[in-house]
Structure 1
Amino acid sequence: MVSKNQIKLISSLQQKKYRALNGLFIAEGVKVISELLDSHFSLEHLYTTAPLFVEIPASKRSVISETEIGKISALNTANNALAVFRIPDAVPIKQQGLIVALDDIRDPGNLGTIIRLCDWFGIAQIVCSEETVDVYNPKVVQATMGSLARVNVSYLNLNNFLANSDIPVFGTFMDGENIYKSILPSEGIIVMGNEANGISIDVEKTVSKRLSIPRFGNNQKTESLNVATATAIILSEFCRNS
């Protein structure tokens, strides 16, 4: 059984201010929860509609009804498992290898997909502007499909971070150098911009090399690519070249 106070607390974690206040976030679904349990994340409590994760101490798990899990779920259709995890302390950023920098990404699905892409391409660090959607937003956590367990996401003053970077900064622009003809290093920061406005003017000033993904075909009327799609192409080229 889940109490009214627990329902109130868990439901409140759908909002950023309450996640920050309590230092907690939620994850749903067996796959996502399994990935987080097998990482540095600390479990606060687990709720399931069947006897799952029996290796977890009984004091940290509860079997509840489908109606009850529906009351605490952030999904339109509740999953059979929901876990509350502690938000870990920030990890220092190491300026080495490839780092993805996100300038004001607002869509939770895009951020979650980019985290998953970084995991796929072996990129362990993402730095985000302070305006970027919260990584512990339930929709972001869900979209990562567990990759959040292996990718460190930090929030900071992105302009200052890039301006003081010891490694080259690459930005994606419509008028940049064709990425398929570029010599790409194994170390650098790759900046991806806002869904509607691209890279901001201040961040653009910190970019040392401008890149673009060329359009093919005869019409060439498509104005832009989805930021997650563009990130996949950019990361693939960097990893292939390096």
Structure 2
Amino acid sequence: MLTKSQIKLITSLAQKKNRTKEGLFVVEGIKGIGEFLNSSLDLYKLYTTGADFGVASEQVVAISEQELKKISTLKTPNTALALFRIPNPQPIENGGLIVALDDLRDPGNLGTIIRLCDWFGVKDLVCSSATVDCFNSKVVQATMGSLTRVNITYLDLPSFLKNVQSEVFGTFMEGANVYSQTLPTKGVLVMGNEANGISSEIEQLVKSKLSIPRYGNLQATESLNVATATAIFLSEFRRGK
């Protein structure tokens, strides 16, 4: 049975300041929880209506479906909710392709980009301090477990780009056609904010500007969704590998 203090703790984790204070984040659903249990992340507590995850009994709290609805952020709660400890960031590997996000704000976009990094073998994702928190419950859901396999670091993005050893690529409407470029296996690919693109400060640090050409007859579409654009760019970076 859930206690009032447990409900208060779980619901408080909807806010970043409380996730940071408690060092915990929420994972929901059988598949998602299973992915995190199979990773190196530490389980704090598991609340379940009956599913057996094979974890130590002292970490499990049996709850009813009504209680699950009280603590879930989903419209249709899925059997279980777990709290995991937020891991410490690992050192960034500079020997491969890195994706950098300049003030991305939409949780769904960030979650999809984390999945794309996992799919295309990008080990490190670096984010400006104003980018949405990767432990936001909507981001966690959207990653479908990929959050456990991508090293995500929040940092001062201009300082990072000034000191990085590899070439910095940026995505712009007026950049060079990505389909006609010979792209390296090592570098930093910067993706910009959904509304404003890459900021002027970061633009000054970009060595190579890339774009995805428009092929429609009218060419009236303003821009691509940032997660869709990331998929295309990563595919091109990996195509010649």
**Which category describes the TM-score, using the shorter chain as reference length?**
over 0.9
* Whole-angstrom CA distance in 2 between matches of 1:51 and 1:213: 46
After superposition, residues 1-242 of structure 1 pair within 5 angstroms as 1-53=1-53, 55-242=54-241
* Whole-angstrom CA distance in 2 between matches of 1:203 and 1:148: 26
Shift of 1:52: 2.0
CA contact under 8 A between 1:51 and 1:63: conserved in structure 2?
A: no
* Whole-angstrom CA distance in 2 between matches of 1:222 and 1:24: 41
Give ranges in structure 2 of 5+ residues lacking alignment: none
Shift of 1:217: 2.2
CA contact under 8 A between 2:27 and 2:137: conserved in structure 1?
A: yes
Give the RMSD, CA atoms, in angstroms.
0.7
* Whole-angstrom CA distance in 2 between matches of 1:75 and 1:212: 37
CA contact under 8 A between 1:45 and 1:83: conserved in structure 2?
A: yes
Shift of 1:39: 0.9
SS of match in other structure, 1:46: strand
* Whole-angstrom CA distance in 2 between matches of 1:203 and 1:113: 23
2:135 alignment partner AA: Y
Shift of 1:92: 1.3
Shift of 1:77: 2.1
SS of match in other structure, 2:44: strand
Q: List structure 1 segments (4+ residues) > 2 angstroms apart after TM superposition.
A: none
CA contact under 8 A between 1:100 and 1:189: conserved in structure 2?
A: yes
SS of match in other structure, 1:171: strand
* Whole-angstrom CA distance in 1 between matches of 2:218 and 2:161: 36
CA contact under 8 A between 1:42 and 1:86: conserved in structure 2?
A: yes
Give ranges in structure 1 of 5+ residues lacking alignment: none
**Count of aligned residue pairs for this structure pair:** 241
Shift of 1:76: 2.2
Shift of 1:10: 0.5
| Normalised TM-score (structure 1) | 0.98
CA contact under 8 A between 2:99 and 2:189: conserved in structure 1?
A: yes
2:3 alignment partner AA: S
Shift of 1:51: 3.4
CA contact under 8 A between 2:51 and 2:80: conserved in structure 1?
A: no
Shift of 1:75: 1.5
SS of match in other structure, 1:6: helix
SS of match in other structure, 1:233: helix
Shift of 1:78: 1.5
CA contact under 8 A between 1:44 and 1:85: conserved in structure 2?
A: yes
* Whole-angstrom CA distance in 2 between matches of 1:114 and 1:51: 30
2:28 alignment partner AA: E
2:172 alignment partner AA: F
- Percent identity over paired residues: 61
1:167-186 per-position Cα deviation (integer Å, ceiling 9, x unaligned): 00000000000000001000
